[in-house]
Structure 1
């Protein structure tokens, strides 16, 4: 039987990086069958043994950091240095998940309260079994491994479907895992197009799907999962806001804003796309931002647009923005496929597509605001809510603004810094998705809580869970509850 294949291409050159199988529904079913058996073995190993093996996996990835970064560079076009940074962050998250899973998920006693005085209660978090991960192309190591690492550490087997733009990276991640864990196929990669991902999401034996991608695609994946009531954690798009308060360090804010917007050619879910600057510092901020942007060059400081179809979205947003606003840097001529030069536009109406829709390119819209309160209102007036940034020297004020920003995470006087902290959960609200990866929440995301209550002794004079219960039993209960809970707090 002839295997149908597809090519992954270098988006900067168009050259073929590799050819991979278009695995059909039957191939996905076979992978899930193997994963079911592997999951039982992986669970039975116990937390300590899984920890050791995952730390071995971490060492294998570290030893292959340079060639893996080169492969990421070839399939995405991003600079090798950026690929190295992505993999280093992946290594730190894998290390945290491996070392903390036992403590976060292990069985522990919980308080029962006076009514349950005769009980002993325990809580633990058990693995789900097989977890399906559908990954993106923009960060083909860091983003899917944010689910894969935590799912594995929680005791699950994983079947990973990488983006059709970066299949080679996905295949390599599973190959490296087999060097650390050769006994069973605990982590497998299946390659293909949308049909392959649909087959994975639609398999009833997959107990959870972790998806990263556009909001529109997330809805289709959710529909497939709904057929079997398969839960899903979805990390979707963003339209992240950057607030510059009146007392901000202007050069530092401009530097962080530019990197947050242009790094990876703006192809970052938590990248900066909307900037709100308080009036007092607007002019100096814009001078600083423009001067810095003029030193950044596409093809040198960041790579090409990896997905060719995204160029149409970027072009449309730029055209609309410069028509309704004022171009500060760049314009329609900045789109020179496969690259897009930096584009900064100010005074763009808030109801324009360039402000409302995710652009996923190296573009920024900037707006002057009366104060930080107005900036926060505008920042929160979005269907998305993934990340965000606040720059202010007043730490209390910055913390308050960060807390009130409608996003899953907010960076203060830095940009995207939360993604590099393994103990912090990552995820969004609204059209940016739901559920969390990373941190303790990310470990629990791939488990089911198991509660056990054991009676240590019979409660004298109060047999409440029996048909032999008497009126005196109920009266004693009422008196106890009244003593404990009947006094109103003033």
Structure 2
């Protein structure tokens, strides 16, 4: 598979034209109703499933990841698209809510309407799965989408739009891909003037997210930002160390560590720390070089990885596997560090490479404290023999998602929301919250009968109003 190099650099005018076409197509799409949209999206899902190999080859060619990893990415995409299509009507359909004693004469209803046109700015590390967490849910909610893929993976974005147009004839303008460098994404967000989108869903670094947020602020365009993480794994003394080591190695090394919710920090109780390190090293050493994961997709990321590893050693940490010499090949060797000070960049900054820091802690309270000390707050994991203990620890972590006795367990469960706080961004994709992220709630009341005392009419005698207000005050003062 040849990497696509013929994609144009779309301008603000191109983007505005795509938004205009999308808005018209979106009106017709919204008018179809949830049942018809579900059928169309499931047609697309089945078409994507039949083209898994084609998508996997493009993903592998553009990112460098092994094709078996790319196939798994396509599968995750299918799972989420299926859920969004099948659940949008239930989640976003009109429903009745309690009116309360004061407004018992009113029927209260909540419904959701599409926002209009959603601008999606996608990343290069999971160029299909991650943006589809916004695209699929936005379409299911009745919106049109203008998608700007990473300049490193434009072919995936182009193929995605083409596949939708072929699978759902008559709705080609509903999903448009625009390509180009970072300036194209900035234009979509409004940095060069209003693009016309009604919301931006962005995935990338915190620094870029701040620039996107500033551009959105000029037009009060809502922003959903997913900005990476520095995920921690907490390992208790009673944990299954083999299971923990296996999960840590996969969470830290898969996709060459280029996973926003990948494992970058481990806090293990001191009594099992050395044993856990040995098991992690054994599994990491056994990874077939060049087959378990591919090279760094963004070559400049090597500078970050190398700086973190070297500084960790200068700061007093030790390399229990690998080190600076492991970073010489095109495919980096796994690096396991231990005893790294908590203020070292390898602990505080996102590394985004096949590097994991495994530090000892005196107890799980300290582990929770250190996990929560990060500026990032995306995902985390806890390993312990006690499910109750695991859930209790999960409740204390600030992360947006926590797995107990696994890592990234939430990624393949489409009903669970995904997102973080702090430098990990804000807003949620996936699940019911993900669908509602791309819809606007609308409150409706229907007057059922005339109330005994109408508080919204000047015709009601002032004395009756006063008595009703006093009665209400007394009730609330007692209960």
The equivalent of 2:183 in structure 1 is 195
Instruction: Indicate conservation of the 8 Å contact 1:385/1:429, yes or no.
Output: yes
1:321 Cα offset (Å): 1.2
Match of 1:457 among 430, 449, 452: 449
CA RMSD between the two structures: 1.2
The equivalent of 1:393 in structure 2 is 385
1:128-139 aligned at under 5 Å gives the runs 128-139=115-126
Structure 1 length as normaliser, TM-score?
0.95
Which region of structure 1 is more displaced relative to structure 2, 180-189 or 417-426?
Answer: 180-189
Which region of structure 1 is more displaced relative to structure 2, 388-397 or 317-326?
Answer: 317-326
The equivalent of 1:6 in structure 2 is none
Instruction: Indicate conservation of the 8 Å contact 2:76/2:412, yes or no.
Output: yes
C-alpha deviations, 1:303-355, integer Å up to 9, x for none? 00000111110110011112221110000111125321100111111001111
Match of 2:261 among 270, 279, 287: 270
C-alpha deviations, 1:172-227, integer Å up to 9, x for none? 01111111222131111000011111111113520000000000000011111111
C-alpha deviations, 1:61-80, integer Å up to 9, x for none? 00000111011000000011
Matched, 1:79 2:66: yes
C-alpha deviations, 1:381-419, integer Å up to 9, x for none? 110000011000111110011111111000110110101
C-alpha deviations, 1:26-85, integer Å up to 9, x for none? 111111111110110110011000000000000000000011101100000001111111
Structure 1 gaps, min length 5: 1-9
In structure 2, distance between residues paired with 1:474 and 1:300: 77
1:315-394 aligned at under 5 Å gives the runs 315-324=306-315, 325-394=317-386
Match of 1:220 among 198, 208, 211: 211
In structure 1, distance between residues paired with 2:105 and 2:459: 19
In structure 2, distance between residues paired with 1:340 and 1:103: 46
Runs of 4+ in 1 over 6 A off after TM superposition: none
1:476 Cα offset (Å): 3.1
In structure 1, distance between residues paired with 2:330 and 2:476: 67
The equivalent of 2:130 in structure 1 is 143
In structure 2, distance between residues paired with 1:268 and 1:141: 13
In structure 1, distance between residues paired with 2:113 and 2:285: 53
The equivalent of 2:103 in structure 1 is 116
In structure 1, distance between residues paired with 2:301 and 2:289: 16
Matched, 1:470 2:461: yes
The equivalent of 2:417 in structure 1 is 425
Match of 1:243 among 204, 224, 234: 234
1:483 Cα offset (Å): 5.3
The equivalent of 2:245 in structure 1 is 254
Q: Structure 1 residues 181 and 252 mapped into 2: Cα distance closer, same or farther (>3 Å)?
A: same
Which region of structure 1 is more displaced relative to structure 2, 355-364 or 182-191?
Answer: 182-191
2:6 is paired with a residue whose SS is strand
Equivalent residues, number:
474
Match of 1:296 among 287, 297, 309: 287
2:224 is paired with a residue whose SS is strand
1:288 is paired with a residue whose SS is helix
1:258 is paired with a residue whose SS is helix
The equivalent of 1:46 in structure 2 is 33
2:357 is paired with a residue whose SS is strand
The equivalent of 1:4 in structure 2 is none
In structure 2, distance between residues paired with 1:393 and 1:413: 8
The equivalent of 2:199 in structure 1 is 208
In structure 2, distance between residues paired with 1:165 and 1:204: 23
In structure 1, distance between residues paired with 2:205 and 2:245: 28
